[in-house]
Structure 1
Amino acid sequence: MARMSLVRSLAVVAMLTPSVNARAANTDPDWPCIQRKVPQLSLGQIWNGPELPPAAKDLSKDPGISALVEEVAARRIPIAEAQKKIKDFAASLPAEQLAPKMAMLVQGMFDHMDAERSHVISGISRYARKQLEMAAALRKAASDVDALRAKPDAD
């Protein structure tokens, strides 16, 4: 009997643990989405290739790569066109520059997209906060109107 009670208790704890952890992970009160807020990504979350060399972070040394990143990261450009531009760029490189330049391109694309994503996330949080403020103001205005209506000399 005691063993069965222990098993039931452990089962309940096991069922509740994921939901407790999920709630604890999303601690931003302004985040209105069901999905957990992940403010920043790491390259390892989306890149399954080899680790990029530290030199890949220094895009300032190659304005051509910086320009290509800006061009292919634009939302208006179709994916097929972006892929063609990247392939053409890779084909134009000497063999010894291919790996380091493509690593710079990967790092640049990631940095650009993560910055853009962070901007969107900030906008969502700002919008949600403004909605909460507006709802509070509307509740106060409704309360004020109710108070005026409750007065004996109200029209």
Structure 2
Amino acid sequence: MKILCNLSMALALSVATTHVQAADFSDPTWPCIQRKVERLSLGLMWPEPKQNISLSDPQQGAVEELASALSLQRVDMENARQMISDFAQTHGTERDLMQAVFSEVFDTISKRRTRIISGIGNVSTGQIALAERIDEARSEMERLMDMPEPDYDTVDALEEQVDWDDRIYRERQQSVTYLCESPVLLEKRLFALASLLQNAAL
């Protein structure tokens, strides 16, 4: 059973990774080379239907505590594996229980990922507006310089504005590159945690 689950997870991860790496030009405000996927599917990561199970208060508290820890990016996969193992020894390895943990993790990380995607869109919109402002200033500089008696004071002011705006644009672009990687990293983390939890389950 675990072998089949591992194969299923590997195939799903391969499909999802290919999916997010394909460029999407349908949204002009999306600056990333990764395809824009606004919402993830829990069913793609956990192949069984979500179960509504009744947990005791200690179980519910333990599920929430583990899920909260696993959702932290600073917790690497080796530590995550140990946390899951400790949880299983104390609370059992029932598959529904592990699914309950993953459901909590999925909700937390998915919401974080959605906020990041929204932030990327906001930064991109600002970058588009700034690029247009730079282009307009350069066009105005060219127009002024083509006049018989150019207004050099205005040209100098426009040139200073363009230099400043261009500097801001380039600095923001570096942060956009980093931000674009974040949704993909969160998605990969979800797949990895789903695999660990499924392997720990009966």
Aligned AA for 1:36? R
Provide the identity percentage.
29
The Cα RMSD (Å) is: 2.6
Q: Is the CA contact (8 Å cut-off) linking 1:30 and 1:128 kept in structure 2?
A: yes
Q: Is the CA contact (8 Å cut-off) linking 1:26 and 1:37 kept in structure 2?
A: no
TM-score normalised over the length of structure 2: 0.54
* 1:139 pairs with 2:135: yes
Secondary structure of residue in 2 paired with 1:119: helix
Shift of 1:136: 0.3
Please name the residue that 1:78 is paired with.
76
Which runs of no fewer than 5 residues in structure 1 stay unpaired?
1-21
Bigger radius of gyration: 1
Q: Is the CA contact (8 Å cut-off) linking 1:40 and 1:118 kept in structure 2?
A: yes
* 1:38 pairs with 2:37: yes
Distance 2:115 2:61 in 1: 24
Q: Is the CA contact (8 Å cut-off) linking 1:39 and 1:121 kept in structure 2?
A: yes
Matches within 5 A, 1:53-132: 53-55=51-53, 62-93=60-91, 98-132=94-128
Determine which structure has greater relative contact order: mean sequence separation of CA pairs < 8 Å that are 6+ residues apart, divided by chain length.
2
Shift of 1:89: 0.9
Distance 1:93 1:29 in 2: 49
Q: Is the CA contact (8 Å cut-off) linking 1:41 and 1:114 kept in structure 2?
A: yes
Distance 1:27 1:65 in 2: 40
Please name the residue that 1:27 is paired with.
26
Distance 2:52 2:143 in 1: 65
Q: 1:37 to 1:94 in 2, by over 3 A?
A: closer
* 1:47 pairs with 2:46: yes
Q: Which whole-Å deviations, capped at 9, do the CAs of 1:35-93 have from their partners, x for residues lacking one?
A: 32111011112223x2121348xxxx933322221211111111110111111112111
Shift of 1:29: 2.0
Distance 2:140 2:86 in 1: 66
Distance 1:27 1:54 in 2: 38
TM-score normalised over the length of structure 1: 0.68
- Ranges of 4+ aligned residues in structure 1 off by more than 4 Å: none
Which runs of no fewer than 5 residues in structure 2 stay unpaired?
1-21, 153-202
Secondary structure of residue in 1 paired with 2:32: coil
Aligned AA for 2:61? P
